[in-house]
């Protein structure tokens, strides 16, 4: 019998980190205000009381220093889990991540392992101020040596954070902040699928929607609307933006003949660009229509009062569905 509990995504990440810290004393958690406060989203709440200030501690407000410290700890055999407080704050650490963290294992011919997890709350939808609602995942997916993943539900959040911590390679763990309070069932006893495996959440026959993170809920909403119109949409959660499980997506496209790729980030030079190009290679003779990408507009993230216009919703996905079915 499965051991099921209901948790929010935030609580599921917390529980996953707690289990990882219980199983391996080399796992350390740190970042801005993560200790007593539990982070601005309370994702690390309670860990200080259980593990003490040697294993979970606050850092200075210096993202480059946070990542540099994580690199040094990894060199000494620890498994650091570093929190970047908001997506838009990761840029001061960009050089440390893409020039050092991503390359040290290759540069040392495998001598230095970098089992570092960088947790990043990302995306919009919370009415935040500037620099608090960005989707920078494509920068890091582009960089060889980094793994980039994002859970969309509590069960994945619980298991994927543990898999990321166990990885010998650095993992950018993007957490959809507007879904933090979304609740769902978590199977504490299941054998999780691979960290970089895509999952079909809703089977369909007419159109495939491939997406990840905060847009998964939106895609499922669009699928419900489409069903009322007699359109059967298949929804794939790709879960991993680097590497991408292209084979899983391709099998779906060969069945439906139509593909929409959606995310909150702008579509220019994006995760959706890569998927669209790869599907053109793998599924050219199966596609009945061009691959359509749905994302944020190619402008800086707007003020909070305009973000509902910027963020893709079910209506924009349905518009894309109409377009691919028109061919």
Q: Give me the active site residues, please.
A: 132
The C-alpha angle with vertex 309 and arms to 307 and 311, in degrees rounded to 5, equals: 65
The DSSP letter of residue 257 is: S
| Burial of 303: CB neighbours in 10 Å, binned 0-12, 13-18, 19+ | exposed
> Cα–Cα distance between 107 and 182 in angstroms, integer?
41
Number of Cβ atoms within 10 Å of the Cβ of 325: 14
In whole angstroms, give the CA distance from residue 209 to residue 40: 32
CA quadruple 168, 80, 71, 171: dihedral sign? positive
E strand or H helix at 211: strand 207-211
How far is it, in rounded angstroms, from Cα 98 to Cα 102? Answer: 5
Question: Is residue 209 within 8 Å of residue 223, measured between CB atoms?
Answer: yes
Over its C-alpha atoms, the chain yields an Rg (Å, rounded) of: 19
Helix (H, G, I), strand (E, B) or coil at 263: strand
DSSP structure class, residue 165: H
> Angle, nearest 10°, between helix axes 9-23 and 154-166?
30
Closest CA to 102 of 283, 294, 242, 292: 242
């Amino acid at each position: 019998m499965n051991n099921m509990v209901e948790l929010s995504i935030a609580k599921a990440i917390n529980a996953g980190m707690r289990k990882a810290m219980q199983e391996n004393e080399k796992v350390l958690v740190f970042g801005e205000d993560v200790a007593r406060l539990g982070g601005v989203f309370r994702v690390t709440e309670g860990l200080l009381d259980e593990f003490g200030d040697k294993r979970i501690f606050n850092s200075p407000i210096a993202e480059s220093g946070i990542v540099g410290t994580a690199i040094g700890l990894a060199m000494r055999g620890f498994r650091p889990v570093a929190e970047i407080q908001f997506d838009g704050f990761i840029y001061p650490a960009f050089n440390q991540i893409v020039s050092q963290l991503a390359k040290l294992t290759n540069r040392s011919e495998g001598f230095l392992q970098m089992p570092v997890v960088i947790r990043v709350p990302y995306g919009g939808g919370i009415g935040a101020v500037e620099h608090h609602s960005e989707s920078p995942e494509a920068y890091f997916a582009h960089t060889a040596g980094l793994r980039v993943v994002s859970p969309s539900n509590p069960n994945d959040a619980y298991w994927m954070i543990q898999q990321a911590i166990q990885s010998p390679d650095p993992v950018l763990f993007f957490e959809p902040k507007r879904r933090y309070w979304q609740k769902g069932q978590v199977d504490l006893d299941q054998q999780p699928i691979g960290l970089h495996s895509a999952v079909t959440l809703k089977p369909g026959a007419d159109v495939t929607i491939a997406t990840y993170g905060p847009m998964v809920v939106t895609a499922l909403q669009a699928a419900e609307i489409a069903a009322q119109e007699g359109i059967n949409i298949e929804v794939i959660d790709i879960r991993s933006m680097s590497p991408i499980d292209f084979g899983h997506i391709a099998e779906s496209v060969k069945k439906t003949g139509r593909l929409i790729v959606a995310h909150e980030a702008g579509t220019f030079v994006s995760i959706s660009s890569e998927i669209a190009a790869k599907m053109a290679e793998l599924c050219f003779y199966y596609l009945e229509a061009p691959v359509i990408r749905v994302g944020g507009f190619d402008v800086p993230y707007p003020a909070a009062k305009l973000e509902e216009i910027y963020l893709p919703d079910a209506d924009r996905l349905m518009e894309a569905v109409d377009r691919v079915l028109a061919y």
